[in-house]
Each structure stands twice: as C-alpha cells, then as structure tokens.
Chain A
Amino acid sequence: DGGITQSPKYLFRKEGQNVTLSCEQNLNHDAMYWYRQDPGQGLRLIYYSQIVNDFQKGDIAEGYSVSREKKESFPLTVTSAQKNPTAFYLCASSDQKEGWGGYTFGSGTRLTVV
C-alpha cells in the first residue's frame, strides 16, 4: 500500500544536539511538507518542497533544516538553534498535478528534549 513512513516514532534529544527525522513516501507525490503540532495551536508549517532539490521556508523555519535529494525523501533536522523543540512532528505529501486532493500524512514523530 502507498503511504508515508515517518521514523522514529519517538525521539529524545539532549540539549545542544542535532537530530534528524525521517520521512519517506511511495505515493509519487511531488510536494512534501513538515508541520509541527503543539497542543492547542494546530499545525504550523516548518518547510515545504514542491520539487526535488528545491524547498522553501514555512512560518517557523528557524532552528530547522531540510533536504530534498530524492522525490521520495524529505528529512528534517532539528538543530541546537531550535530552543523549544519538544513537539509532535508531522510529514505530509500532496500530488501537485491534482492540486487539490488534500494531504496524506505520516503517523508522526514525537520529539522530547531531555
């Protein structure tokens, strides 16, 4: 079955450490997105990519970085510059050709600073 796989499901980060969250899709979607979810705040866009080797900052990109070297993969790195990284991170993809089909989401990664 086609879908989006996020790993790991749970991740613990020490102060000053960079961590990378994985997101892989086999839907052949052009666009991929990273959202951060905090209680009571809904989803906030971190980064998005419409095509391989291209990506744009979202609303809260500071302290995060991404790459899009392959169509299937869009990893997110949470750097030490992100002062409050504890959150639930969601990766999503959409078919740009269709343009309006909505997002397919992964099952999320819960990141906790220890």
Chain B
Amino acid sequence: AQSVTQLDSQVPVFEEAPVELRCNYSSSVSVYLFWYVQYPNQGLQLLLKYLSGSTLVESINGFEAEFNKSQTSFHLRKPSVHISDTAEYFCAVRPNTGGFKTIFGAGTRLFVKA
C-alpha cells in the first residue's frame, strides 16, 4: 500500500520569495509521482510528474520537483512566486507496476502575499 504525507497544510509567502512545498511518501513498490494544482472551485490540474530518468522535473510555469528515493520525498519548489500561484497543491503517487489507483496527499494551501 502507498501513502502520501504533505508536511505543511498552509504555506504563506511573500511575492517574489522562494517556496518549497514538502511531500513524503511510503510504498512497498516503485511509484510514479505527481504534483497537481487546484484553484478555487475548480478541478485539479497536473503540474508535473516523475516517471523515470532525471530526478529533477520541471513545469512550464517555473515549478520544479526533485525525486529523492533515499528520503522518499518529492518536494515542490519555485525560486520566485507570483500572486497567481496562490492555490492548493496536491502531491500524489501511483504504483508503476500494474496498479493504477492514485493516492493523494491532504494538500498544501499556498498563499502568496503582496
């Protein structure tokens, strides 16, 4: 079985400051890792994913996440946030061998202040 822990429920940060949203997971099998973003009253959108290969993955809007197998982490980072990045962010895992159910973390609410 898999589980996902997002270590911060809320992260307030000033505009143009760096941010890190932390995600740890546990699994007895190898997994794919995802970050999703949810804006108010909307569905989730895939932000980035790690499937294999390079442990550092990037999104088109400046976010990046690094897969750390030894620490079972997949933290999301952005060097300089914008007001428009205010949203809820979900880390998720999915087995890469036969399974297809995705397990989501509880979410981290990022609040960017002017």
A residues sitting closer than 8 Å to B (CB atoms) are 4, 6, 31, 35, 40-43, 45, 48, 50, 58, 90, 92, 94, 96, 99-108, 110
Contacts and interface: CB of A to CB of B under 8 A. Distances in A.
A104 to B, nearest CB: 8
B43 A42 contact: no
B100 A99 contact: yes
Given A41-B106, A42-B105, A50-B100, A107 B46 contact: no
A40 B42 contact: no
A80 to B, nearest CB: 26
Interface of B: 9, 32, 34, 36, 41-46, 49, 51, 90, 94, 96, 100-102, 104-107
B107 A96 contact: no
A110 B41 contact: yes
Contacts of A50: 100
Nearest to B32: A100
Nearest to B94: A100
B43 A96 contact: no
Given A45-B101, A48-B101, A100-B32, A105 B45 contact: yes
- Is the contact region of chain A dominated by helix, strand, or loop, or is it mixed? strand
B43 A105 contact: yes
B53 to A, nearest CB: 12
Contacts of B42: 107-108
Contact of A103 (B9, B44, B106): B44
A43 B104 contact: yes
A42 to B, nearest CB: 4
Nearest to B6: A42
Nearest to B52: A100
